[in-house]
Amino acid sequence: MSVCKFFFSLFFACIFFSFPCVAQQHEATADGSYVPILPSDSPADIIRKAAHVVPSPRQLRWQELELTAFFHFGINTFTDREWGDGKEDLSVFNPTRFDARQWIRVAKAAGIRQVILTAKHHDGFCLWPSQYTDHTIKNTPYKNGHGDIVKEFADACKEYGMGFGLYLSPWDRNSPVYGDSAKYNDLFLHWLTELLTNYGKVDEVWFDGANGEGPNGKKQVYAFEAWYHLIRHLQPQAVIAIMGPDVRWVGTETGQGRLTEWSVLPLNANQQASIAANSQKDMTFAPLGDLMHEDLGSRQQLLSAKGLIWYPAETDVSIRPGWFYHDKEDAKVRTPAGLMDLYFSSVGRNSVLLLNIPPNRQGLISDADVRSLQGWRKDMDSTFGVNLAAGAAISSPNGVHPHALLDGKNDTWWTTTGSDTTATITLALAGEKTFDVLSLQEEISVGQRVEKFVLESYSGGQWTEIASGTTIGYKRLIHFPPVTARAVRLRILSSRCNPTIAEFGLYKLVE
C-alpha cells in the first residue's frame, strides 16, 4: 500500500466510523467482496452496504489491467471450424512456424497486459501433453509429438512480464467419460492440476458456459465448486472468470458493455447458502441468474437481494468475425478505429476488454491483425497521452483532496465531506482547450457509488451540458462533439454514500 493510499484509507476509516452512511465492518467477508443482507436491514441500510462492497485484491488487480487478450488456437485452426466435434485426425495439427513469443510481443506492443490461451476447447484436444488422455499434442506431428504449447506460451508470458491465463472448456466432445458426471469431474480436476502445477503462476482461469449437447445429448453436471477450491488452493491469485466467482461475462459477444454497469450485484438465496457453506471466507459460488439482463445492479435489484457481491464484467470479443483463425476472414479484421470503439464500449463502460486475436495455421499472429493492433496503439497514445484538464484550478465547496483528480494515480481520490452524496467540481482549465472525450474513474477499492452525473462547459457566459451518464465504476469514457472552453464542471447528481473520483480527464480523440 502506498503512503498516499494509507492516508486515504485512514481518512476513509474515519468517515466509516463517524457517519451513519456506513456498513458495519463485521458484516462483510474478510476481503469485503461480499456482504449478507439481514432481514432487519431497511432499504437505506441495503444501499449503504452496497456502497461498501469492494473488489478482492485479485479482482482489483484484474480490473486495473484494462486490456487483456484471448488466443483461440487448436485443432479448429487447422480444420477451419469454430466448434470441433472431437473426432478430428490429429495429424492435421502442425504449426510450422509456431512462435508464442511473437504473440506476446504483438499483444504487449498493443498495451495488452494479460493473455489467455485456449488450452482445451470443446473438441477436447489438449495443447499440452496431458497424461489423462491421448487426444493431445503428443499425437500430432508438431515437434514429432514432443511439443508443449502451453509451456511455450507460459514461458513467453514470463519472459515479457505478461499476465498468464488459461481457458479450459468444461464441455468436451471427445472424452469418453463426458456425461458420466463423477468420472468426468475427476478427470477435469486432473487436467486442472496439471495446468496449475506445471507452468508457474497462473493469473486467470476461464471457464465458458457453452454446452451444445442439446436435449438428446450427454448430460454432464459440472462440479464447479470442487474446481474452484482446487484453483484457490493451487493458484490463489488467479481470477476465475465467466463460469466462476470473480469475473462475470458482460452478457454479449458484440463488444458492447452496458451504459449502466454496476460491479456490485445482488445474490439470491442459493448463492448466499453456498457462500455460507464456505465459511464466508472467499467467493466460491457458481454464477446463477440471467447475467444478460440489462439491469443487474440498480437499487431496485438490490432491495430484494439476500446478499451483495463484487462481481465485475468482462467484455470478450474477437478482432475477427470468428474466434478461431480462418483465411477467409483476413480482410475482416477490425480496423484501428474499430478497436478504439471497442475500448470505449468496454473499458469505457466499467469493464475489462478481453480481445481475441486468433493465431493462424503457421502458429503466428497474421500481418493484418498486427497492423490493426499497431494502428490502434498509436491512436490510443495520441488520444490519451495528454490530459487537457492538467494544470486546471479546481474548486469543490464540499469536496476534499481536489489535487487527487489530476495526479494520474488510481489510488488517491477526491470525495465529499460529511455524508454529502451530491457535489459540483469546477475546473478552470489552463487556457482555452478543445476536447471531445470525458474520462472519469471512481476509487473502486472503497466501492462503486456514483449513480448520475453531468459534465458542463462554460462559454458565452453560461454553463451548457455536454455529457451525462449514470455509473462510472473503474472507468467511464464518453465521446461527444468537440467543445472549446476555458472551464468545465462535473456535477454529481446522485450517489450511494459519499462519491469518490480518482481521476478526471479531458481528451481529444485522434482524427
Q: In the complex, which residues of this chain contact ligand FUL (CB under 6 A)? A: 82, 208, 210, 316, 323
Give burial (CB, 10 Å; 0-12/13-18/19+) of 322.
Answer: middle
Residue, CB closest to ligand FUL: 210
Residue 247 near residue 62, CB atoms below 8 Å: yes
CB nearer ligand FUL, residue 244 or residue 473: 244
CB nearer ligand FUL, residue 162 or residue 241: 241
Provide, rounded to whole angstroms, the least separation between the CB of residue 14 and ligand FUL: 45
Distance CA 288, CA 368 (A): 39
CB nearer ligand FUL, residue 323 or residue 507: 323
List CB contacts of 231: < 8 A, sequence separation 6 or more: 192, 196, 205, 238, 240
CB nearer ligand FUL, residue 354 or residue 370: 354
List CB contacts of 376: < 8 A, sequence separation 6 or more: 110, 336, 339, 340, 343
Provide, rounded to whole angstroms, the least separation between the CB of residue 316 and ligand FUL: 5
Q: Find residue 454's DSSP bridge partners.
A: 468, 491
Helix (H, G, I), strand (E, B) or coil at 469: strand
Q: What is the dihedral of CA 335, 150, 325, 254, to 10 degrees?
A: -50
In the block, cell 487483456 appears at 68
Provide the CB-side half-sphere exposure for 270 (13 A, CA): 5
How many residues appear in the chain? Answer: 511
Provide the CB-side half-sphere exposure for 272 (13 A, CA): 15
CB nearer ligand FUL, residue 86 or residue 469: 86
Provide, rounded to whole angstroms, the least separation between the CB of residue 52 and ligand FUL: 33
Provide, rounded to whole angstroms, the least separation between the CB of residue 75 and ligand FUL: 12
Provide the CB-side half-sphere exposure for 117 (13 A, CA): 28
CB nearer ligand FUL, residue 152 or residue 316: 316
Provide, rounded to whole angstroms, the least separation between the CB of residue 77 and ligand FUL: 12
Q: What is the dihedral of CA 354, 359, 365, 370, to 10 degrees?
A: -40
Distance CA 123, CA 217 (A): 15
Provide, rounded to whole angstroms, the least separation between the CB of residue 199 and ligand FUL: 20
Distance CA 371, CA 377 (A): 10
Q: What is the DSSP track for 399-418?
A: EE-GGGGGSS-TT--EEEST
Q: What is the dihedral of CA 465, 337, 166, 65, to 10 degrees?
A: -40
Provide, rounded to whole angstroms, the least separation between the CB of residue 152 and ligand FUL: 21
Distance CA 91, CA 99 (A): 19
Provide, rounded to whole angstroms, the least separation between the CB of residue 319 and ligand FUL: 13
Distance CA 71, CA 443 (A): 31
Q: Find residue 112's DSSP bridge partners.
A: none
Strand-pair category, 503-507 with 476-495: unpaired
Helical ranges in 198-268 per DSSP H: 224-234
Provide, rounded to whole angstroms, the least separation between the CB of residue 210 and ligand FUL: 4
Q: Which cell is 147 given?
A: 511439443
CB nearer ligand FUL, residue 74 or residue 147: 74
CB nearer ligand FUL, residue 81 or residue 479: 81
Distance CA 132, CA 6 (A): 48
CB nearer ligand FUL, residue 86 or residue 307: 86
Enter the DSSP assignment of 24. Answer: -
Provide, rounded to whole angstroms, the least separation between the CB of residue 358 and ligand FUL: 10
Q: Which cell is 82 given?
A: 469454430
Provide, rounded to whole angstroms, the least separation between the CB of residue 324 and ligand FUL: 8
Q: Which cell is 379 given?
A: 491512436
Provide, rounded to whole angstroms, the least separation between the CB of residue 390 and ligand FUL: 39
Provide, rounded to whole angstroms, the least separation between the CB of residue 5 and ligand FUL: 35
CB nearer ligand FUL, residue 114 or residue 439: 114
Distance CA 100, CA 164 (A): 12
